[in-house]
């Protein structure tokens, strides 16, 4: 079953969920309540719970309503099972969802958003880039550069950023207020999608999340017209704006795989990413993808996507490997593997 996680996160007040499990808070303010943290031994009531999530100032634990319920009620389950059960419970029973004011339905962008949203996404991206290289972004930068092996120049060139939702939301939201826009952003590493010269959206990678919770997207509300929008990255290619022309072309599945290939082969190879195995590409990409090679993940979803897109476009080769590009970057074999494969 599919669940509208955007709606769940918008409607569920995490403070009500906390009160259900833990009772009255140690103390409460209009915008947040403080509890003793459930993750570590906490004598100071370090857990701040707000409407849209929680954060412990002692151990750093963070999350939203879905993650909190997964940890409190379904921690013994596999992550994907816990995720589904938490979504089902929150959708059906919790905190009187049907009695709450439902926000305007999220319309999907069928292409790049309008001019105001272009400015909003660019503004958020620039703020997040600065935050990544500031003191508060050190852990995220360490994950990108050490855990995933990307060098700083690639991180900067790709415009990657960091948003701590609970700590910095007020700051960057003030910057966007004059546009009449409100962006909903999860805490994590921001991956800007800039394709064919325009902003299509921003994807958020949450390094510490369970597999089914790793990625989300920035959604936007135009408060002047009471319109809400959800980015639809279908039809865009991540990284395609950096293609230089008459060179070998490679299409990979994930954004970090794209950046891994760019890091070791930017001198001779053009690379782009479809973002996920479920992505659909229009035939308008036929000219640019003609003669390209495809290298998708070795799981069933990745292989199905490779076969599907190979049937749509004229492909030079399908590259098979049990290790993905980022894994080969980390073990030092990526450049030689690409040279042999292409």
- Confidence band, pLDDT 50/70/90 cuts, at residue 106: very low
Q: What pLDDT, in 10s, does the model give residues 122-159?
A: 888 888 898 899 888 898 999 999 999 999 999 999 99
Q: What pLDDT, in 10s, does the model give residues 299-339?
A: 888 888 888 888 888 888 889 888 999 999 999 999 999 99
213, pLDDT greater than 80 = no
Look at the block and give the residue holding tokens 């494969």. Answer: 341
Which of 319, 313, 283 has the alpha carbon at shortest distance from 298? 319
Write down the architecture of domain 240-341 according to CATH.
Answer: 3-Layer(aba) Sandwich (3.40)
What pLDDT was estimated at residue 231?
A: 60
Q: What pLDDT, in 10s, does the model give residues 175-200?
A: 555 555 566 666 789 899 887 778 88
10 Å Cβ neighbour count for 175?
13
User: Are 303 and 296 spatial neighbours (Cβ–Cβ below 8 Å)?
Assistant: yes
How distant, in Å, are the alpha carbons of 87, 88, 189, 190, 283 from that of 255?
27, 30, 12, 11, 21
Domain chopping of the chain, boundaries: 5-99, 106-230, 240-341
Q: In this predicted model, which residue has the larger pLDDT, 100 or 111? A: 111
34, pLDDT greater than 60 = yes
User: Are 191 and 203 spatial neighbours (Cβ–Cβ below 8 Å)?
Assistant: yes
Q: What pLDDT, in 10s, does the model give residues 263-284?
A: 999 999 999 999 888 788 888 8
Q: How far apart are CA 25 and CA 49, in angstroms?
A: 9
What pLDDT was estimated at residue 159?
A: 93
Q: In this predicted model, which residue has the larger pLDDT, 41 or 102? A: 41
Sequence-separated (6 or more) residues with CB below 8 Å from residue 33: 15, 18, 19, 25, 27, 48, 49
- Superfamily classification of domain 106-230: DNA primase, catalytic core, N-terminal domain (3.90.980.10)
Sign of CA dihedral 174, 122, 279, 294: negative
| Helices within 2-151 (DSSP H only) | 5-11, 14-22, 65-73, 79-92, 115-132, 138-142
Q: How far apart are CA 296 and CA 310, in angstroms?
A: 11
- Confidence band, pLDDT 50/70/90 cuts, at residue 40: confident
pTM score: 0.66
What pLDDT was estimated at residue 150?
A: 97
Helix (H) or strand (E) holding 308: helix 300-312
Q: Report the percent of the chain where pLDDT is more than 70.
A: 80
10, pLDDT greater than 60 = yes
How distant, in Å, are the alpha carbons of 91, 121, 253 from that of 242?
42, 19, 17
107, pLDDT greater than 70 = no
- 316-340: buried (b, 16+ CB within 10 Å) or exposed (e) per residue? eeebeeeebbbbbbeeeebbebbee
Look at the block and give the residue holding tokens 């369970």. Answer: 210
User: Are 241 and 196 spatial neighbours (Cβ–Cβ below 8 Å)?
Assistant: yes
Q: How far apart are CA 245 and CA 314, in angstroms?
A: 17
Q: What pLDDT, in 10s, does the model give residues 59-100?
A: 888 989 888 888 888 777 788 788 888 888 887 754 444 333
- Confidence band, pLDDT 50/70/90 cuts, at residue 221: low
Looking at the chain, how many residues does it have? 342
Which of 340, 326, 151 has the alpha carbon at shortest distance from 256? 326
Q: How far apart are CA 47 and CA 101, in angstroms?
A: 27
Across 209-219, average pLDDT: 61
What pLDDT was estimated at residue 157?
A: 93
Which of 162, 214, 164 has the alpha carbon at shortest distance from 60? 164
DSSP string over 195-247: ETTEEEEEEEE-TTS-GGGSEEE-EEEETTTTEEEE---TT--BTGGG--SSS
- In CATH, the number for domain 5-99 is 3.90.580.10
Instruction: Name the burial class of residue 184, with classes exposed (0-12), middle (13-18) and buried (19+) by CB atoms within 10 angstroms of its CB.
Output: buried
- Confidence band, pLDDT 50/70/90 cuts, at residue 20: confident
Which of 154, 162, 112, 107 has the alpha carbon at shortest distance from 133? 162
Average pLDDT over all residues of the chain: 80
């Amino acid at each position: 079953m599919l669940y509208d996680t955007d709606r769940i996160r918008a409607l569920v007040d995490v403070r009500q969920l906390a009160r259900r499990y833990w009772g009255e808070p140690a103390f409460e303010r209009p915008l947040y309540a403080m509890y003793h943290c459930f993750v570590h031994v906490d004598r100071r009531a370090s857990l701040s719970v707000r409407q849209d999530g929680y954060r412990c100032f002692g151990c750093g634990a963070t999350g939203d309503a879905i993650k909190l319920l997964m940890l409190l009620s379904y921690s013994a389950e596999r992550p994907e099972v816990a995720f589904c059960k938490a979504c089902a419970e929150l959708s059906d029973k919790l905190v009187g969802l049907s009695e709450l004011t439902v926000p305007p339905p999220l319309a999907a962008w069928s292409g790049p958003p309008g001019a105001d949203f272009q400015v909003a996404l660019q503004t958020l991206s620039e703020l997040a880039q600065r935050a990544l290289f500031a003191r508060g972004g050190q852990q995220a930068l360490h994950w990108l550069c050490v855990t995933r092996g990307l060098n700083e120049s690639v991180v900067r060139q790709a415009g990657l950023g960091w948003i701590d939702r609970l700590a910095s939301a007020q700051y960057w939201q003030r910057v966007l207020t004059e546009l009449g826009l409100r962006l909903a952003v999860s805490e994590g590493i921001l991956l800007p999608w800039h394709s064919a010269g325009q902003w299509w959206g921003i994807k958020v990678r949450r390094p510490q999340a369970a597999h089914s919770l790793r990625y989300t997207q920035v959604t936007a509300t135009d408060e002047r017209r009471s319109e809400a929008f959800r980015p639809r990255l279908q039809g865009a290619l991540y990284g395609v704006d950096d293609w230089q022309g008459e060179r070998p072309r490679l299409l990979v599945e994930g954004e970090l795989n794209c950046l891994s290939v760019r890091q070791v082969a930017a001198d001779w190879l053009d690379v782009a990413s479809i973002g996920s195995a479920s992505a659909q590409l229009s035939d308008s990409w036929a000219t640019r993808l003609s003669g390209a090679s495809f290298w998708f993940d070795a799981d069933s979803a990745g292989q199905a996507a490779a076969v599907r897109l190979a049937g749509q476009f004229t492909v030079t080769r399908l590259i098979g490997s049990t290790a993905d590009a980022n894994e080969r970057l980390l073990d030092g074999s990526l450049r030689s593997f690409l040279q042999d494969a292409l």
